């Protein structure tokens, strides 16, 4: 019996990996089409574009994993049915519950792979991809306003005109206020680099203006050390979308925003999505089993496979839709991210229970 279970697991795993590879090739082709207009900008040539697209693959793999698990499982189970292997397996005494347990092993394995990809590989690869493109095109990091990047650190409001791909800051302005929200100090630096040993910024060509009730004092410094909670780890958030960040980085960034009384809705939804998204792989294998027909009639196999694939694509878009709706209407972050996964899990369990009772 163990040999039989290993055979099923091997068939499922192979089909899922082949499906994932096909989807990644498709997404890579779309990325290439999107990047072709940028060729020739600065040093952005075909070699750089290829590296950029390759570094986007882990992020796509993370997003597509549940869909690949569903389609791959459906294909593998359909093949077993068409070759009558599924009928032999069932008539040999293997119950639907035992099959579900076997499929859950596969789903759990791909859930772990999804966690590893989303937590460790994709965020680092995504940041590196953006840095490579920015360096090649001689661009700066995206600006939220025309005046540059704005951040808040307690009673200090920080404005950065440009952030280079190596985390060098240009045109740094720090406005400090007292407890009554009166401006007490303005500091401007032409350039700032981060020292990872001392965890401080080294500011160059600094002009510091101190304001009081009676006078204004302006002081110039060739260099000055500046300690702030605004570090490259936080600024790197600007290089990748929240959905592509690791849960660890999201948690700390949410704490930073909360400590400064800033809105965290988008990052809350992204964090809870990171925590529950891997469970979608488990839901998908159960849905695949629920859509597996008992008989090998060609029409029924094709219809079940088509409906299952359509359901998987629907889940992929509905999951994103709920995230956007939750952000737009300020829904509870947990419900916005878990409802699609739980709904598909319930669909799979209900359909399996109905098949078992027939």
Average pLDDT of the segment spanning 175-185: 89
Q: Measuring CA to CA, which residue among 193, 344, 356, 331 is closest to residue 265?
A: 331
Locate 156 and state its tokens.
Answer: 């200090």
**Cα–Cα distance between 30 and 46 in angstroms, integer?**
15
Residue 209, pLDDT above cutoff 90: yes
Q: For 89, phi and psi rounded to 5 degrees?
A: -60, -45
pLDDT confidence bin for 237, thresholds 50/70/90: low
Most confident of 86-100, 101-115, 280-294: 101-115
CB atoms within 10 A of CB 135: 16
Share of the chain above pLDDT 70, in %: 90
Beta-bridge mates of residue 153: 156
**Cα–Cα distance between 16 and 285 in angstroms, integer?**
10
pLDDT confidence bin for 254, thresholds 50/70/90: confident
Beta-bridge mates of residue 158: 151, 174
46-74 confidence digits (pLDDT tens): 999 999 999 999 999 999 999 999 999 98
Locate 54 and state its tokens.
Answer: 């390759």
Residue 15, pLDDT above cutoff 80: yes
Give the model's pLDDT for residue 333. 83
Share of the chain above pLDDT 90, in %: 31
Locate 254 and state its tokens.
Answer: 């949410």
Give the model's pLDDT for residue 142. 45
Q: Measuring CA to CA, which residue among 229, 217, 274, 276 is closest to residue 253?
A: 229
In 221-332, which residue ranges form alpha helices assigned H by DSSP? 232-235, 247-259, 265-276, 279-290, 298-329
**CA triple 281-306-279, angle to 5 deg:** 10
Supply the mean pLDDT for the chain: 84
pTM recorded for the entire structure: 0.74
**Cα–Cα distance between 12 and 312 in angstroms, integer?**
16
101-149 confidence digits (pLDDT tens): 999 999 999 999 999 998 889 988 988 887 788 778 755 444 444 567 7
Give the model's pLDDT for residue 299. 55
Give the model's pLDDT for residue 49. 93
Q: Measuring CA to CA, which residue among 161, 159, 162, 192 is closest to residue 176?
A: 159
Work out the burial of residue 109: count CB atoms within 10 Å of its CB; fewer than 13 is exposed, 13-18 middle, 19 or more buried: middle
Parallel, antiparallel or unpaired: strands 183-195 and 200-211 = antiparallel
Residues of the chain with CATH 2.60.450.10: 155-228
Give the model's pLDDT for residue 164. 67
pLDDT confidence bin for 43, thresholds 50/70/90: confident
**Cα–Cα distance between 5 and 9 in angstroms, integer?**
6
Q: How far apart are the first and last CA of the chain?
A: 24
Average pLDDT of the segment spanning 346-354: 77
Residue 194, pLDDT above cutoff 50: yes
Residue 259, pLDDT above cutoff 80: no
Question: Which segments within the chain are labelled E, that is strand?
Answer: 149-153, 156-163, 169-177, 183-195, 200-211, 216-226
User: What is the maximal distance between C-alpha atoms in the chain?
Assistant: 94
Average pLDDT of the segment spanning 179-204: 90
Give the model's pLDDT for residue 357. 67
Lowest mean pLDDT among 10-14, 218-222, 304-308, 334-338: 304-308
Average pLDDT of the segment spanning 87-101: 84
Report helix, strand or coil for 195: strand
Work out the burial of residue 221: count CB atoms within 10 Å of its CB; fewer than 13 is exposed, 13-18 middle, 19 or more buried: middle
Residue 47 makes CB contacts below 8 A (sequence gap 6+) with none
Cβ atoms of residues 349 and 90 within 8 Å: no
Higher pLDDT, 229 or 226: 226
> Which is the CATH superfamily of the domain at 155-228?
Lipopolysaccharide (LPS) transport protein A like domain (2.60.450.10)
Report how far apart, in Å, the C-alpha atoms of 11 and of each of 139, 220, 329 are: 47, 70, 43
Residue 173, pLDDT above cutoff 60: yes
In whole angstroms, what separates CA 351 from the centre of its chain? 30
């Amino acid at each position: 019996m163990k040999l039989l279970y290993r055979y099923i697991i091997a068939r499922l795993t192979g089909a899922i990996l082949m499906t994932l590879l096909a989807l990644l090739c498709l997404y890579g082709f779309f990325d290439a089409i999107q990047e072709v207009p940028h060729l020739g900008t600065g040093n952005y040539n075909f070699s750089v574009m290829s590296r950029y697209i390759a570094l986007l693959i882990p992020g796509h793999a993370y997003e597509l994993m549940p869909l690949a698990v569903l389609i791959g499982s459906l294909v593998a189970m359909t093949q077993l049915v068409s070759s009558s292997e599924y009928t032999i397996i069932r008539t040999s005494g293997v119950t639907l519950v035992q099959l579900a347990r076997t499929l859950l092993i596969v789903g759990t394995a791909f859930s772990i792979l999804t966690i590893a990809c989303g937590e460790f590989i994709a965020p680092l690869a995504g940041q590196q991809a953006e840095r490579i493109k920015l360096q090649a095109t001689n661009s700066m990091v995206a600006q939220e306003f025309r005046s540059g990047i704005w951040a808040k650190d307690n009673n200090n409001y920080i404005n950065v005109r440009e952030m280079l791909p190596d985390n060098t800051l240009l045109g740094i302005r720090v406005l400090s206020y007292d407890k009554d929200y009166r401006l007490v100090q303005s500091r401007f630096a032409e350039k700032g680099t981060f020292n990872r040993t001392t965890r401080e910024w080294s500011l160059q060509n600094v002009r510091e203006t101190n304001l009081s009730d009676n006078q204004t004092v302006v002081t110039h410094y060739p260099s000055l050390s500046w300690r702030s909670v605004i570090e490259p780890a936080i600024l790197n958030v600007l290089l990748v979308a929240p959905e592509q960040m690791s849960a660890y980085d999201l948690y700390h960034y949410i704490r930073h925003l909360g400590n400064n009384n800033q809105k965290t809705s988008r990052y809350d939804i992204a964090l809870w999505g990171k925590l529950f998204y891997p469970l979608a792989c488990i839901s998908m294998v159960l849905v695949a089993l629920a859509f597996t027909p008992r008989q090998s009639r060609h029409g029924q196999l094709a219809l079940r496979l088509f409906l299952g694939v359509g359901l998987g694509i629907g889940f992929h878009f509905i999951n994103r839709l709920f995230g956007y709706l939750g952000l737009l209407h300020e829904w509870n972050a947990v419900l916005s991210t878990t409802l699609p996964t739980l709904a598909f899990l319930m669909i799979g369990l209900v359909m399996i229970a109905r098949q078992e009772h027939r």
